[in-house]
Chain A
Amino acid sequence: KQEVTQIPAALSVPEGENLVLNCSFTDSAIYNLQWFRQDPGKGLTSLLLIQSSQREQTSGRLNASLDKSSGRSTLYIAASQPGDSATYLCAVGTGKLIFGQGTTLQVKP
């Protein structure tokens, strides 16, 4: 059974810092890996999607990498801003997504 784990559960950093969020999964036979952002009381917004044949995707200050052999993905956020404060979720699969529990990020001004 696929399990997805995100560490740490919470993270607090000063503005401007570069940071890495981690996501690990137990079954390397994944189709896609997706990173989402969730603001308090809101739905999920897709940030980056990495297909199984890809190694990384970039969007603005965000870069996500995928290493299927080690069962790991990282989300790199460059030059963090207070507006980046949210919960970040990773999910594997397509359609039937299996989610990690999320990392709640606080960026302090």
Chain B
Amino acid sequence: NAGVTQTPKFQVLKTGQSMTLQCAQDMNHEYMSWYRQDPGMGLRLIHYSVGAGITDQGEVPNGYNVSRSTTEDFPLRLLSAAPSQTSVYFCASQTGQGAPGSQYFGPGTRLLVL
């Protein structure tokens, strides 16, 4: 298993540009989520999904959209990038929200918005 994969690894955007951060997992996990990590702030939940076709907001959802058309993929879209979205983004997956078990994290995408 490849686990959780994320692309790209690094991206530079100009303010106002849009982009999609890709996330895929091959473990047939129902639950997937996106976090952002900022210095001194720890990781904060952006959006999550409990299964294909179901998404919900986390702690910091503003400026981000998600969709879940398949079990494997959970892309994160920035519609109009802002400097405040400069961060490291991590995707994670788990067997199920209510199921005990470790979460698996991807390697992260470093995003710089100028």
Contact = CB atoms under 8 A, between A and B. Distances in A.
A96 B45 contact: yes
B98 A99 contact: no
A99 B37 CA distance: 10
Contact of B100 (A51, A97, A98): A51
Interface stretch (B12-20, B61-69, B103-111): B103-111
Interface of A: 4, 31-32, 34, 36, 42-46, 49, 51, 89, 91, 94-102
Contacts of B33: 95-97
Contacts of A44: 43, 90, 92, 105
B105 A101 contact: no
| A4, A43, A99: residue with the most chain B Cβ atoms closer than 10 Å | A43
A49 B102 CA distance: 6
B31 interface: yes
B53 interface: no
Contacts of B58: 96
A6 to B, nearest CB: 9
A24 B113 CA distance: 34
Contacts of A34: 102-103
Contact of A46 (B31, B43, B48, B103): B103
A99 B43 CA distance: 6
B18 to A, nearest CB: 25
A43 B108 contact: yes
A34 B42 CA distance: 14
A97 B43 contact: yes
Nearest to B106: A43
B100 A49 contact: yes
22 contacts: A31-B100, A34-B102, A42-B108, A43-B105, A43-B108, A44-B90, A44-B105, A46-B102, A46-B103, A51-B100, A91-B43, A94-B97, A94-B100, A95-B31, A96-B58, A96-B97, A97-B43, A97-B45, A98-B45, A99-B35, A99-B44, A102-B42
